[in-house]
Amino acid sequence: MPNKSSLIEKTKEAVASVMPIVTIVALLACFLVPLQTDLMLAYLVGAVFLILGMALFTVGSELSMTQIGNHIGSALTRSRNPALILSVSFILGVAITMSEPDLQVLAQNVPSINTTVLIIVVAVGVGFFLSLSMARILYNIPLRWLLVGFYGIIFLLSLLADKNFIPVSFDSGGVTTGPMTVPFIMALGLGVSSLRSDAKAQEDSFGLVGLCSVGPILVVLILGFIYPASTTADVAMTNVTYADTVALGHGYLEAIPHQLREVAMAMLPIAVFFIIFQIISLKLKHRPFLRIVIGLILTLVGLMLFLTGVNVGFSPLGFMLGQMIAQTEYRYMLIPLSALMGWFIINAEPAVHVLNKQVEELSAGAISARAMGLSLSIGVAAAMGLSLLRALTGISILWFIVPGYLLSLALTFLVPSRFTAIAFDSGGVASGPLTAAFMLPFAIGAVQALHGNVMTDAFGLVSLVAMMPLITVQVMGVIAVISARVASGPRKGHVAGGSTDVIELWEV
């Protein structure tokens, strides 16, 4: 059974994540933007759903997905069969990605691309690159050269691909590194890394998440060559109204069974795979097996509540708010307003504080957690502001993404490999659930109000946010290297990341 204190802790974390946005929207509604009362009430109810959903989902994921990853990783290690490891990794990558809540939200918001098609294509991309990540661990392939090679291919395809698919493809890479996939992939990688006995084996288990996020970008770009998007497609979100509180209640009650069915279908592959593995190989005892089953149920309920709150309460109001502000003479207030929201969103993400502490440990105190947090907050606020600047002006995403990733890749040659691995792993830290659930609809509403192209001007927000830690963490790594060189003799190499101690990037 889940620990009561753990559930309380995760609920507090969810409240800390959601309340800053709720407060900002409430102030806007009271003093600047006249929102419909029924829409605001639906939003507040949605906030409760989000908080409960995020808390239950996080606890359930720790009980189930992390444990499944650990057990299957251990079983694969015992088999010592590379072909089996790579094929199972592919299947697991596909199955776990289909359950990712951030991907579900993104796919439902993308016009002109079938939701199921997008989810399956992204899942296949993650599966393929999870297999590649395992091959990298098994055969000691340098992460830096894989990143340079595949991002080179991505930039080349971006020059040839349908422009409507470019922002969505980079967003797809950002949303797949979420609360479902990250703990699972990290647990699986740590298990497989034990097959190697050299000193760098466990260090090479870092970078899996960053490499897996490459897959969706690549496959969605390729999808653009065979599945052309329409620039005139209707956005899934519309202005929602409720006649009274009974109608509002019915809106939520009607959404719950639909979302439950969608979530159950998304989680079915990983549940079936686990049961098959349990029968054939794992053979867990009653108590640990029951804990995983309870965890899967909590994950199912939490994800259902989360998506219900997003679709009925949060996304419609974010869409309406962006639309209404864009229609006024104060439309350029969207830029500082989105930057302010980005600042609070990143500060409220629990995983960000874990990352900051680990960078402090990795640099032996040369970079404080406070300095890291400040730089990340500035970076994400800037990313949000640039995203709304794009929404208002129609500037191509490539003017931001290409220089940003080129800088990120250049920095890989200047910092210790562990900083690079953690940087590329941590993109999902910044692009949390609220980015896809509220900020993306906010941008979509603004673009639609200005009669812009939603596919090219609104999408790309998640990718800009996910890109910032790649730069920030590695810049902090450069600072650590310089500090180490300035410091006295023998500890110079140690501070720069020479330690072989394993530092967990994610709380699981």
User: For 80-109, what is each residue's pLDDT tens digit?
Assistant: 788 888 998 899 889 888 888 888 888 888
Cα dist from 190 to 66, 235, 327, 385, 504, whole Å: 11, 41, 51, 37, 10
Alpha-carbon gap, residue 307 to 270, rounded angstroms = 19
Q: What is the pLDDT along the chain (508 residues), one digit of tens a residue?
A: 567 788 888 898 889 888 888 999 989 888 888 888 888 999 999 999 999 998 998 888 888 887 888 788 778 877 778 888 899 889 988 988 888 888 888 888 888 788 889 999 999 999 999 999 888 888 888 888 999 999 999 999 999 888 888 999 999 998 887 767 777 777 777 777 766 666 565 566 667 888 888 999 999 999 988 876 554 455 555 566 777 888 889 889 999 998 899 888 888 888 888 898 889 888 888 899 999 999 999 999 998 998 899 888 888 899 999 999 999 888 999 999 999 998 887 876 666 766 677 677 766 776 787 887 888 888 889 999 999 999 999 999 999 999 999 999 999 999 888 788 878 877 766 777 778 888 999 999 999 999 888 889 999 999 999 898 889 888 888 888 888 788 755 544 444 444 434 334 334 3
What tokens appear for 80 in the block?
A: 């010592």
Cα distance between the two ends of the chain: 16
What pLDDT score was predicted for residue 325? 92
Q: Are 173 and 425 in contact (CB under 8 A)?
A: no
What pLDDT score was predicted for residue 506? 39
Q: Are 47 and 18 in contact (CB under 8 A)?
A: yes
Alpha-carbon gap, residue 323 to 335, rounded angstroms = 14
Beta strands in 313-380 (DSSP E): none
Burial of 158 (C-beta count, 10 Å sphere; 0-12/13-18/19+): buried
Q: Which of 54, 79, 57 is nearest to 66 (CA)?
A: 57
SS3 readout for 171-211:
HHHHHCCCCCHHHHHHHHHHHHHCCCCCCCCCHHHCCHHHH
The residue extents of the domains of the chain are 25-36+81-255+315-498
Q: Which of 300, 297, 307 is nearest to 256 (CA)?
A: 307
What pLDDT score was predicted for residue 113? 83
- Residues written for the chain: 508
**Which residues have CB under 8 Å from 169's CB, separation 6+?**
161, 216, 217, 218, 220, 221, 224
SS3 readout for 397-455:
CHHHHHHHHHHHHHHCCCCCHHHHHHHHHCHHHHCCHHHHHHHHHHHHHHHHHCCCCHH
The amino acid at residue 306 is F
Per-residue pLDDT tens over the stretch 142-195:
888 999 999 999 999 999 888 888 999 999 998 887 767 777 777 777 777 766
Q: What is the mean pLDDT of the chain?
A: 83
Alpha-carbon gap, residue 337 to 462, rounded angstroms = 17
What pLDDT score was predicted for residue 416? 83
Q: Are 123 and 216 in contact (CB under 8 A)?
A: no
pTM: 0.83
